[in-house]
Amino acid sequence: MKKIKKAIIPAAGLGSRFLPATKAMPKEMLPILDKPTIQYIVEEAVAAGIEDIIIVTGKHKRAIEDHFDTQLELELNLKEKNKIELLKKVEHSTNLANIFYVRQKAPRGLGHAIWTARQFIGDEPFAVLLGDDIVDAEVPAIKQLIDVYETTGKSVIGAKTVSKDDTERYGIIEFSEKHERTYRVENLIEKPQLGTTESQLAIMGRYVLTPEIFKYLEAQEIGTGGEIQLTDSIQKVNTSSGVYAYDFDGNRYDVGDKIGFVKTTLEYALQSEMKEELIIYMKELLNADSKIKLDK
């Protein structure tokens, strides 16, 4: 069985939910505190033992490449001013991993983004990490999926249980067997209408896939939303070879919409050195006779 050494991070989306901020800046570069969201994703992959990462980008995404590249003028300036801790942070993002880039020329869906990176992957199994999900876990979420792959030899989908009202927002996993946190996939449905499935087990932005997936992505079949859906091709892999889902351990943060992004920023701030100052400020906001009106 081949080891998982490569990962794809799709980052070609338009970021429409964050306009106008994302008109000129990639959504993936929006920071959680002092670090862009995509760096959290890259760090997770590296912590899981991934050696090579390909980021699928689109137009106006050059800032992502610049972030992970060397910035000599900045580094020299920090060194001259003896700002060593800041210098270490800047150099850290440069030296994280072997990062490559390929451009998705049109936003045709997640399945198409993965297919765009096929030559980089070749005939190896690989990981996929979506940028809308940051996972804080003792063992990296993608490493948990890799462990299941190494046990089963099958593709593995990251999963979490969601409320019934939220099932239409996700790809939903219908399963036939469950053993602890591992599920045997029976069927996959991309964003089902409410009431059309009893399952509340949702796909959560982490995958380990075998190269068989490219055989089905090659067909470029249009699915839900008029896009080429990755879920549809994984279902075909499931029919032919079998697929597992794994309810990974860890706190998952949704940074793909504004309220999720704000909540994530607050939680990370409350885990940082600014915790005490932030709590004092939040209490002041709650108690102040200001324009902020809260329901009692």
pLDDT single digits (tens) 44-103: 999 999 989 999 998 888 999 999 999 999 999 999 999 999 999 999 999 998 999 999
Give the model's confidence band at 199: pLDDT under 50 very low, under 70 low, under 90 confident, else very high. very high
What's the pLDDT at 291? 57
If pLDDT is split at 50, 70 and 90, which confidence band does 296 have? Answer: very low
Angstrom distance (rounded) from CA 40 to CA 254: 13
Average pLDDT, the chain: 91
Question: pLDDT tens digits for 6-55?
Answer: 999 999 888 888 889 888 889 999 999 999 999 999 999 999 999 899 99
Burial class (CB in 10 A: 0-12, 13-18, 19+), 185: buried
Domains of the chain: residue spans and CATH: 6-254 (3.90.550.10), 257-296 (no CATH)
Question: For residue 156, what pLDDT band results from cuts at 50, 70 and 90?
Answer: very high
User: 115 or 227, which is more confident?
Assistant: 115
Q: Tell me what percent of the residues of the chain surpass a pLDDT of 90.
A: 70
Question: Is 70 exceeded by the pLDDT of residue 127?
Answer: yes
Tokens of 279: 């709590």
Q: What is the mean pLDDT of residues 162-179?
A: 90
Q: What percent of the chain has pLDDT over 70?
A: 97
- Residues contacting residue 195 through CB under 8 Å, at least 6 positions apart: none
| Statement: residue 154 has pLDDT above 90 | yes
85, 151, 268 from 276: Cα distances, Å: 22, 44, 13
Give me the pLDDT at residue 292, please.
56
pLDDT value of residue 190: 85
